[in-house]
Structure 1
């Protein structure tokens, strides 16, 4: 009797596990993680350049700033 109850419990548990539906699909979770990482990068760049570096935080989006940084790192300037 006890053995039969254990088997039924295991079968019912396996069935309920298969019927579980995710609130957010895995592909949507991956997209959200990538977007949040990009947002964190942009906010970090703005804080680093604007607050710590003393510049205008919106200059982070200016290509000439990045070209100057690349030139300094490669030794072209």
Structure 2
């Protein structure tokens, strides 16, 4: 009986060693791929670009909405009087 159990434990041990070798090789591969790489487009620059695009697209959208859909002059959307009028209309409905 002792001889029957011995091959099973040897198989388990070999299996564990293979798994450990696979894990070690994967770990080394990850270190190589993510090692000392620098980002081409840093995260802080991505945030600045996204925020500036949001501002630009908001301005373009309000100009199109006010000029084309509203039938008014597109550049008038940036005047303070326009926004106070819009705020007054919104508050009047409440």
Q: For this structure pair, what is the TM-score category when the shorter chain's length is used for normalisation?
A: 0.7 to 0.9
Calculate the aligned-residue CA RMSD, in Å: 1.9
How many residues were matched structurally?
Answer: 73
1:36 matched residue in structure 2: 53
**Which blocks of at least 5 consecutive residues in structure 1 are unaligned?**
none
User: Could you list the runs of 4 or more consecutive aligned residues of structure 1 that deviate by over 3 angstroms after TM superposition?
Assistant: 5-10
More divergent stretch after superposition (14-23 vs 49-58): 14-23
Q: Hey, what's the Cα distance between the residues in 2 that align with 1:26 and 1:20? A: 14
1:1-77 matches, within 5 Å, as 6=22, 7-8=24-25, 10-75=27-92
1:15-50 per-position Cα deviation (integer Å, ceiling 9, x unaligned): 331222111111111111110011110000000010
Query: Normalized against structure 1, the TM-score is what?
Result: 0.79
Give 1 or 2: higher helix fraction. Answer: 2
Structure 2 unpaired stretches of 5+: 1-17
Question: Which of the pair has more CA radius of gyration?
Answer: 2
TM-score normalized by the length of structure 2: 0.67
Greater relative contact order (Cα < 8 A, sep 6+): 1
